[in-house]
Each structure stands twice: as structure tokens, then as C-alpha cells.
Structure 1
Amino acid sequence: MASFTLHGIPVSRGIAIGRAHLLTPAALDVKHYLVPEEQVEAEVKRLQDAIAEVHRNLQELWTDLPKDAPTELGAFIDVHALILSDPMISEAPLDIIRSRHYNAEWALVTQIDELSSQFDEIEDPYLRERKHDIQQVAERVLKVLMGTALSVPPVLAGDEGYAPQMVVVAHDISPADMLAFRDRSFIGFVTDVGGQNSHTAIVARSLDIPASVGMSQASRLIEQDDWVIVDGDAGVVICNPSPLVMEQYRARQLALVKARKRLLKLKKTPAVTKDGTAIKLMANIELPDDCPHALDAGATGIGLFRSEFLFMGRGAHALRVPDEEEQFEQYKRAVVAMKGRPVTIRTLDVGADKPLDPTEHTALNPALGLRAIRYCLAEPQLFLTQLRAILRASAFGKVRILFPMLAHAFEIDQTLNILEQAKAQLREQNVKFDEQVEVGAMIEIPAAALALPMFVRRMDFLSIGTNDLIQYTLAIDRVDYEVAHLYDPLHPAVLQLIGMTIAAGQKAGIDVAVCGEMAGDIKLTRLLLGMGLREFSMHPAQLLSVKQEILNADLAQIAPRMRRIMRSMEPAEILEAVEQLQLN
């Protein structure tokens, strides 16, 4: 097979080498995992039993048809029974289970996708539409399988004899879908669309999995089971590489593993600059299960718990909203896991590329619509439920509450009033919580950065969400790969807004953190230190690299260079000055 290279946007560092797994939208609805050799025949039987049960169901439908039923109904059932008996449905997926060790649902969807693509090439419109009959039959089998699938445990990445070696290739992958792949046998992600700071990219970094996005035609050009190299540092994907290229990348991969092992020695080293300035290094997490990774990286706390991931990817549940008890248990798990270290929980931040229900109608421009705190204020009962759950968790350790996307004084006051309602309700029920729980605001809208006095008067701390701050300052949809090249954290306007926020916090005597992607970018660590930042929050996988930068930084040398950077309005001049900061 011919080798070719695709260039996209690097979003998660590292190198992944494995077989391509093409992911279609239909495939996202089922579980994907590898079956151990000794369980293959049991998995084959599970699919055979499901097909047999659908056969019985169809026969019962045919038998129970009323005598006056239209003849088309009987014919419809007969067609579905014939399709189900066809070897392409009843036998081919079994071969996939035996040869690739796919679980039954995955094998069936893989085969159906292949058949559907063949039908798409048929010129006759009537025959072409028959693919829907095939898909309907498959849906029947999948429903039976999914009813029994919970009893079959997935093989987790790293299980003995099954080194993960598959790279997901898709047109797009939502954050919730990406989270569904955690702890499974996948080592890299490639998508046609997406930008450096889309939430999909952020989740890839949090999972510490190499990924490249904005590849345009990757899902069309790369074929199932092709050998793929994902160079997450360069945003390059090499398909069917030559033996020489494969050898070179395996050597680079080994060197990266060794470098990471060296960084582990810094885990217990305090984050202090050369001139003795202590820096707080916190972790960003999506779920409580991420806390052990944060501790392993030496985080001094959780600077951002993205609570919306508890609400997303909840299947067909009515409102896809966990109740107060479920939320409380999850927040409590995180708080207890961090063993007294602070846990900053951001309230529900949905909208834009993180819809609570992806099937619902979305606004023309969701990034500017009803999202984050606006959504919560529009749904006060949902908001109250979450606040009560967070407050209850505060009885088990240090909790801070962070509110996203605030821009107006009345929004701040409304938010704080609802928080007081939640506290009052808990007091009435004699439920314990931290009466002195700290509250903070995310500074991610230019209007907020330009109106800081109204924030510092009302809040205990601030956290700069650089991802959205850059997006809104530069009028760039960070999910749109066609304008992703305009996303620039070093734009002078962005630097001015960040600098103003840090300075305002210092003047008011309140903590200011950066929890966006800039915090984990080692090329920007010294820049942020020079701007006065003393609290960074990032993905656990980035923490030790940032700590190494901090240990090598001398603020006395950085300070005079910062004046030149902050005065400059020329991008090339700023970039050169930032690069110079890295040299000493």
C-alpha cells in the first residue's frame, strides 16, 4: 500500500503508532473493546444468540399479524428475516470477531458500515435505499446485544497480552465520545475537523493521548487497519509508513518515554523558581477518576473540575441530568481522593461544542448563545441542585466553587443569590457544608477583563479561561478548523487582558489562576510567570514539564524583558521576545 502524509493541527503531544480504526457516527453508539482469545467463541455465541432472538421476534410479529393487516406488513417482515439470514449479516461479523477480536456490537457495526457503503454506489435508487432495511435489521440485533452487553466486561488498555495499538480516525469526535474511549485499547486520535483548543483537543490532552485534528480528508483517505503514525507534536499523520520511517518513529517514541521517566523524579520537588518564588501547580480534571493521575503528577490541588462531563454522554436518559445525590457522590469522591488539597469545581458549562443534548436544536451561533452561567440562570432548579451537591461535598474537604462566563454585575449577583438559596435549603435540612466556601469567577469574556473591579469586590478568587478569552477577543470559533490558524495566545490584545487580570488580582489581594491551555504550554510558562502569575492549572500530563520550566526560571531576569513584550503591538516582535525568554 502506498504511503502518504497528512498535515493538520497538533493538539496533544507524543507519538502513537498503530492500526487505524475508522469510526462512523453509527459506531459511536456502541461499545468498542477487544475480546481476549479465550473469550472469542463466547462472544461469537453472544452474537449468534442475538441474531436467533431477532429471528424469533420477527416470527412472532408475523404470526401475530391481524388477518386484515395490509399484505405489505407481512412482506416487510419477510424481507427483514431474509436479510437476517444472509451470510453477510449472519456470518461475516462472526469472522470479524474471530480475526480482529472485536466485541459483537463493534463487529456488527463494522460489517453494516461496509455493506452500507457498497449500497451507496448502486445507481438504482430503489436498490440503493435497501441499505436502510439492512440498518434497521442491524438495529434490532444491536438492541438485543446492548441489553446483555453489561455482563461482558471490556478489556482495558494494558491487560496482559493486549497492548493497545489502535488509532481512532473519524470526521469528528465529541468530548463525551472521547471520554467513552478512556481506558480502552486506543492510543491516538485523528479527525478531519477541529482546532487546537476545541474541547475534543482538550480532552485528548487530558487523556494524554497523541492527537492531530483538522486533517480535512483523513477519514476518507485512511482505510480500516492501515498502519498509522500520529506525530502529536508536529500535527502530522503518516499512513502506511516505510520500514525506515517506522523505525525512526519507534526510536523517537522510546526517547519520549525515557524523557517522561526523568520528569517523574520532579514529582515531589516543590515548584519554586530559581530566585525562590513559590508557584502553585494545580490539575484540570473531567471526572473523579482523574484525581489519582493528578496526585501522581504532584498536583497541589484541582484548579478546575469540569463538572459538565458528569452530565454528558448519559445515553437515552430523559434529561441527561444526574440528580443531587449522584452529583454529591461524584464531587465527594474527588474531594476525598485529593486528601485535603483544594478542589475547584466549575459549575455546569454546557453549550457551544459541549451540548447537554446533542439531538436538540442548537442556536445559530451557540458560542454566543445560552451557555455556561446563562444556561444555569435560565434553569434555576438545575443550578440549585448542582450547588447543593457541591456544598454538601465541601463538608469532606477544601472545596472552591467557580462560575463560568460571567460578564455582568447582575449575573454575578443573581448567581450569588442562588448560592445563598442553596445554603439556606441545606441549613433547613441540617446538612453540613463549609459556610466559608470560597467562590470565584472565570475571566473568559473581554468585557469581564475590562470590568475587573466589579469582580474583585464580589469574588474570593479569579481564574482566567484563556481558551474562551482568546476565542472571544479574536472573534474566532475555536472549533472551526478553517480559522484555527488565527487562534493566537500571543496576540497583543490577549496579553493585555491577561496582564490586566493578574494585576487587578494582585492589587485586590485575591488569587488569580490560569486554567486554560496556556497554563500547560511550556513555551509560555516563563511569559506567564513574568506577568505575575503564581497559580497554574493544567492537565496532569503537562504538570511535570511545566514544573521543570518553573525550576529553571529566574524572575529577576524575566522581569525586564516583560516590559518589552507588554509594550509591543507587533506579533513577530512578541514571538521573538517570548522565544528569548526560553533561552535562559
Structure 2
Amino acid sequence: MSIQMFGLPVSRGVAIGRAVLVDSSRVDVAHYFVEPERTGAEIDRLRHARNTVAEELGTLKRDLPAEAPTELAALLDVHLMLLHDPMITEALRQWIEVRHYNAEWAVTAQTEVLVRQFDEMDDAYLRERKADIEQVAERLLRALSREGGGLPQVTQPGDFGGEDPLVLVANDIAPADMLQFKGSVFTGFVTDVGGRTSHTAIVARSMDIPAVVGAREASRLVRQDDWLIIDGDTGAVLINPSPIVLEEYRFRQRQSELERARLHRLRHTPAVTLDGAPVELLANIEMPGDAPAALEAGAVGVGLFRTEFLFMNRGGALPDEDEQFEAYRAAVEAMKGLPVTIRTVDIGADKPLDRMSLTELRHEHALNPALGLRAIRWSLAEPAMFRQQLRAILRASAYGKVRVLVPMVAHRREVQAIVEALERAKQHLREAAVPFNDVELGAMVEVPAAAMVMPMLLQHFDFVSLGTNDLIQYTLAIDRADESVAHLYDPWHPAVLKLIADVISAANAAGKHVSVCGEMAGDTAFTELLIGMGLRSLSMHPSQMAAVKQRVLRIDSQRVGRLVPSVLQSPDPASAWQQAIAVPARSALN
């Protein structure tokens, strides 16, 4: 019987093959109390399991093939840091010593505590980092129970009794297990859980593997060796499709492969509209190792280097100035003279560092962390840390073109404090005879207040960058962590589009550079609209660049510009825009 289900499409393309099921990530756990005199032995058992897992992860990292995506090594490092996080290990010891839980029970209890904390976080990306906690806990439990784990060690199709292509079905896939994809026969995967910014999704995009996550019941409904179609474009998963449907998707698969090859040839083609308007396509990166992929995709620079990932999962020890400098310099040098926009750390409130207790930050006066001490507010509250980061960025500027981007700016006094801090950092380096170059200073427009005081911001900043994810959330008063209202998160809302258009217009009028670095930048549904608003710079994940460039090459910027005013006045901008651009598109086909 044919069954169809839907999840979130996270990596484009079509995969067709026989299903290989991996057991659920949940490991059966025995719960019992240990005698007080045996707690020491139980802690030793847990420590031995931890060392075993650390050795496994270390071996995986050492054996990482040279062609493997840089994300994989970074994710293994994250899991190793979590494994040795003093806060986590101390909590596990307390469960055993104080509650007398057995080691497995301690692991599951602490995992539940951490997962609840991550679920409460406002930031979608960080909320999905709970998967890292769960995957590390699973490995610990398997080590404790002396069970095997991970993906089946498949190297040849014959291992599963045939020559058919294989697709993987699992509750979730740990980044360490994803290492086997590179040399295995799996052509795609589907998971019960996960989101568009989960690690499995990130790795799938980096490896260009068709994938669907968050399919909920996939691992329960799919049986071993079922025929599966994974549609990474729509999020559909078809179980045992009919022969005619199977052939239709095989045709789509061939067409998709041809389209990818064609798009790949555009990577070094200048992004210029039909009427000659150049458009700057930049890359968003998290770590220095992401820079080569950005260059390969044809990026003309880095529009957003998210530095907070250097600060997190470190067991409370923040990176010092030299460590930050080395990371920033590596990214700048890897971009070979192209500009690199480094955002100061966006952390605090719902994104606590390891040295911060989430309970401490969520005290009775901080009921909504999205409105609390975060981003530049946190940096200004930690002046020593902020000075270190600014000096590290300035030092890296001696090796290439660097821009400094400050998140969540909204107040004049913040602007003054930022400018003064940057000047003090420059003066300190001058006195120490440390070389640096001039850097442009920019502000992220993420709250409506910033969008409404653009003339003030543009007096002090060289450029602005629209962080559309937060701008939409704050404009519509939508907590993205609350599933009951998440459906109201709408980038097509008239108020959102008006704010975006006003920011672009104000920046262009002042002769200041403006870009969009949120999800809208990489969504081709908005490319014409943003170009029509006057935007000429977009920053996105490298995997999205070819499709956006193709769209840019087909745009007449003057024509779409004439369509924008009436669309902004419409109560339903999405429908109005589709109707406005559809007529010329249909005419061009005739």
C-alpha cells in the first residue's frame, strides 16, 4: 500500500531507494537506586563510559577524510566539548551521589533538564541544538549498556541483499554518524525529528544530499526494504509508490541532476540583472572553515560571520583575544582579499554561555528572554569581553578587508558606547604597535525601533544589515518558540515589508551600503521583491547562492521596482506580488 507523509524539506533534490531503518535514538534505560556505598563505583562506571565515547569521537575525527565537509569536524568538537562540560558532569555526579540514581538514570534525568531549557530558548537555531545533547546522551547510554550504536556499517549495496540504491530512515541522525554518508551508498535520508537549522539539515545541505526532517512517524510507518521517494524540494516522503509515480519521480530526479549541474556553472558568473544592475551575493558562515565553501559557491565576500559559535560549548571558558584573532584571521585569509563582515557576539538571555546558568538569567524580572540582556546589550554589560573581541577583529583586519557588524542596535546611547569602545580598542593597539587597518562599522536592523530611526543610525554607521528573522519576530510580537502562534510568523506581512522597504530606501538615499542577511535573502520567493525595493546585496547560506543568482540574472530591476509601491499598499502583499510578476512571465513564454 502506498503511503504519503510530509516533513520539512532541508536539502533539495529527489532520492529514490530501498529503506534502511536505524533503530530509534531512544535507548531503553533501567531505573534503579544504588546503595550509598556503591555511588563511587557508579560514578566510576559513568566516567569509564564517558572516556569510551570520547575515544570513539576522537577516532572519528582523526579518520575524517580530507574531502569531508568542515562542518563535520566542528560538530564532533561540539559533542566532545559537551561530553566534558564541567557543568554537565557535575550535575550527573549529583544525581548519583544525592539521589542515588544509577548512571543510566542520571544521564536521562539530566538530559531531560537540559532539553527543557533548550525548548524554552527563543532562537530557533539554538533551540534545535538540543539534538546535540540528546545524541551525546544516547552514546553514553549505549556505552553504559554495552550496546552497539550508530548507523549500520554499509559500504556496498550487497550488504542489504541487492544492487538497489538505499535511503536512510531514522528518528534522528547524529553528526558523528553522518560521517558514513560520504563513502556509503545512502542517497538521501528522512528523520522523524529536526528542523531547517538542525545539524542534520546543515550537514545534508553541505553534502548536497536530498533530505526531509521532522516527518514525525517516518521510522514507525516505513518498513525495512520499502521503496521510498524523498522529495527534498517539497518535503514529501512516499512509501511504496505506484510504478507510474516512481517513474515520474525518476524523471524529476534526472531533471534535477541536470539543473544542479547547470546552476553549478553559474557560480563564477557575475550576478547582474537584465538591465545591468550588479547584485552582491555574500555568504553567511559560522566558523572559519566555512569560508572555502563560500568561495566555491561563488560568494563575493562574507556578509555575516556569526562569532557566537566560538564562544559556546566551551565549559565556561571564553576564547581569549589571541584565540579569537586566529579564528578571524583564518576566515579573512581564506576569503583571499574579499570582504568579511564579522558580527560581534550575539549571545545572552535565551543564548547563555556555559558559565551562565539559564536559571540565573531567567529570574523573575526576565520573563521574556527575547526582550532581555542579549546581543549588544550583553556585550556592553561585559566591557572586558567586548574590548577583547573588538581588538581581535581589528588585528585580523591587517590581513584583509574586514567590516564590524553589531547586532540588535536600537538606542542612541548604545551607538555612542559602541563607537567609543571601537576607538578605545584602536588606541590600545596603536599604543602596543599592533598593526590593523581601517574597518567599516555596521549595525544590524533587527527591531522596529532601529528601522524607524535610520537617519540617526546612518550618521554613525557605515552600513546596515537587515536581520529579517528577528525583525519579523519583533514586529509581529511572535514568539517563534511558541508553536501555538508560530503560524503567525509571516515575512509577507505588510508591516514587515514596509519596514524593510523603508530601511533600504533610507540607506540608499544616504549613500550607505545595505544588505539582508536573514532567511529572506536566500529565499528565491523574495528575490525580485527585494531587488525591486532597491536592495543590491544579499547574504545567505552558500548552498542557496546558485538558485538566487539564477533568479537575479532574470530580473529587470527597473520593471520590478515599478511594481513595489502598489504591492506595499496591498492588504495581501504575497498575492498582489504574484499577480504583478506573473503577467510578464506568462507573456515571455508565448
Provide the TM-score with structure 1 as the length reference: 0.70
Report the more deviating stretch, 294-303 or 220-229.
220-229
Cα gap change, 1:230 to 1:578, in 2 (>3 Å): farther
SS at match of 2:265: helix
CA distances 1:132-152 after superposition (whole Å, capped 9, x unpaired): 39989995995999xxxxxxx
Cα gap change, 1:75 to 1:498, in 2 (>3 Å): closer
- Equivalent residue, structure 2, for 1:384: 387
- For 1:143 and 1:403, the matched residues in 2 are separated by 45
Offset at residue 491 of structure 1 (A): 1.0
Written as runs of structure 1 = structure 2, the 5 A alignment for 1:504-543 is: 504-543=506-545
SS at match of 1:524: helix
Out of 485, 491, 516, which is 1:489 matched to? 491
Amino acid of the residue matched to residue 340 of structure 2? V
- Equivalent residue, structure 1, for 2:265: 265
CA distances 1:470-495 after superposition (whole Å, capped 9, x unpaired): 11112222344443332221111111
| Contact in 2 for aligned 1:513/1:533 (Cα 8 Å) | yes
SS at match of 2:105: helix
Cα gap change, 1:140 to 1:561, in 2 (>3 Å): closer
- Equivalent residue, structure 1, for 2:128: none
Out of 320, 327, 332, which is 1:330 matched to? 327
| Contact in 1 for aligned 2:194/2:214 (Cα 8 Å) | yes
Out of 412, 416, 424, which is 2:427 matched to? 424
Cα gap change, 1:578 to 1:142, in 2 (>3 Å): farther
- Greater gyration radius: 1
SS at match of 2:525: coil
- For 1:221 and 1:288, the matched residues in 2 are separated by 41
CA distances 1:219-271 after superposition (whole Å, capped 9, x unpaired): 77678998765433223344576777666545534432221111122122211
- For 2:532 and 2:228, the matched residues in 1 are separated by 40
Written as runs of structure 1 = structure 2, the 5 A alignment for 1:82-121 is: none
User: Within the alignment, does 1:6 sit opposite 2:5 as a pair?
Assistant: yes
Cα gap change, 1:274 to 1:437, in 2 (>3 Å): same
User: Within the alignment, does 1:342 sit opposite 2:346 as a pair?
Assistant: no
Offset at residue 281 of structure 1 (A): 1.1
| Contact in 1 for aligned 2:534/2:561 (Cα 8 Å) | no
Written as runs of structure 1 = structure 2, the 5 A alignment for 1:102-501 is: 132=105, 139=140, 142=143, 166=168, 169-170=171-172, 185=181, 188=189, 190=191, 192=193, 194=195, 210-212=210-212, 215=215, 229-238=229-238, 249=249, 251-314=251-314, 317-319=315-317, 321-351=318-348, 354-357=351-354, 360-361=358-359, 363=362, 364-434=367-437, 436-501=438-503
| Contact in 2 for aligned 1:462/1:513 (Cα 8 Å) | yes
Out of 501, 504, 524, which is 1:502 matched to? 504
Offset at residue 329 of structure 1 (A): 1.1
Cα gap change, 1:340 to 1:237, in 2 (>3 Å): same
SS at match of 1:266: coil
SS at match of 1:536: strand
| Contact in 2 for aligned 1:193/1:216 (Cα 8 Å) | no
Cα gap change, 1:526 to 1:166, in 2 (>3 Å): same
Offset at residue 332 of structure 1 (A): 0.8
| Contact in 1 for aligned 2:169/2:218 (Cα 8 Å) | no
Amino acid of the residue matched to residue 303 of structure 1? G
| Contact in 2 for aligned 1:10/1:232 (Cα 8 Å) | yes
| Contact in 1 for aligned 2:492/2:574 (Cα 8 Å) | no
| Contact in 2 for aligned 1:565/1:577 (Cα 8 Å) | no
Offset at residue 452 of structure 1 (A): 0.8
- For 2:425 and 2:556, the matched residues in 1 are separated by 45
- For 1:155 and 1:419, the matched residues in 2 are separated by 52
Cα gap change, 1:71 to 1:401, in 2 (>3 Å): closer
CA distances 1:513-550 after superposition (whole Å, capped 9, x unpaired): 01111111112111111000011111111111111111
- Equivalent residue, structure 1, for 2:133: none
Amino acid of the residue matched to residue 360 of structure 1? L
Gaps of 5+ in 1: 28-69, 85-92, 94-105, 107-127, 146-153
Report the more deviating stretch, 392-401 or 346-355.
346-355
| Contact in 2 for aligned 1:22/1:224 (Cα 8 Å) | no
SS at match of 1:442: strand
Cα gap change, 1:130 to 1:455, in 2 (>3 Å): closer
Offset at residue 156 of structure 1 (A): 13
SS at match of 1:457: helix
Offset at residue 507 of structure 1 (A): 1.0
- For 1:185 and 1:142, the matched residues in 2 are separated by 23
CA distances 1:414-448 after superposition (whole Å, capped 9, x unpaired): 122222222222222211111x2101011111111
| Contact in 2 for aligned 1:373/1:406 (Cα 8 Å) | yes
- For 1:79 and 1:281, the matched residues in 2 are separated by 52
Cα gap change, 1:360 to 1:167, in 2 (>3 Å): farther
Offset at residue 572 of structure 1 (A): 5.6
| Contact in 2 for aligned 1:20/1:227 (Cα 8 Å) | no
- For 1:79 and 1:310, the matched residues in 2 are separated by 31
- For 2:267 and 2:482, the matched residues in 1 are separated by 37
Amino acid of the residue matched to residue 426 of structure 1? L
Identity over aligned pairs, percent: 50
- Equivalent residue, structure 2, for 1:100: none
Cα gap change, 1:452 to 1:133, in 2 (>3 Å): closer
Report the more deviating stretch, 458-467 or 553-562.
553-562
> What is the RMSD of the two structures over their aligned residues, measured on CA atoms?
4.5
CA distances 1:41-91 after superposition (whole Å, capped 9, x unpaired): xxxxxxxxxxxxxxxxxxxxxxxxxxxxx986269959999xx9xxxxxxx
Cα gap change, 1:354 to 1:203, in 2 (>3 Å): farther
Provide the TM-score with structure 2 as the length reference: 0.69
| Contact in 2 for aligned 1:157/1:164 (Cα 8 Å) | no
- For 2:212 and 2:451, the matched residues in 1 are separated by 32
| Contact in 2 for aligned 1:214/1:481 (Cα 8 Å) | no
- For 2:417 and 2:43, the matched residues in 1 are separated by 59
SS at match of 1:462: strand
Amino acid of the residue matched to residue 455 of structure 2? P
SS at match of 1:407: coil
- For 1:198 and 1:78, the matched residues in 2 are separated by 33
CA distances 1:343-375 after superposition (whole Å, capped 9, x unpaired): 001111125775433973353432222221122
- For 2:485 and 2:309, the matched residues in 1 are separated by 27
- For 1:308 and 1:23, the matched residues in 2 are separated by 32
User: Within the alignment, does 1:73 sit opposite 2:37 as a pair?
Assistant: yes
Cα gap change, 1:199 to 1:133, in 2 (>3 Å): closer
Cα gap change, 1:80 to 1:205, in 2 (>3 Å): closer
Offset at residue 407 of structure 1 (A): 1.1
Offset at residue 189 of structure 1 (A): 6.1
Cα gap change, 1:155 to 1:494, in 2 (>3 Å): same
Amino acid of the residue matched to residue 260 of structure 1? R
Cα gap change, 1:385 to 1:200, in 2 (>3 Å): farther
SS at match of 1:282: strand
| Contact in 2 for aligned 1:169/1:191 (Cα 8 Å) | yes
Gaps of 5+ in 2: 29-33, 49-55, 57-75, 77-100, 109-136, 160-164, 183-187
SS at match of 2:389: helix
Cα gap change, 1:10 to 1:140, in 2 (>3 Å): closer
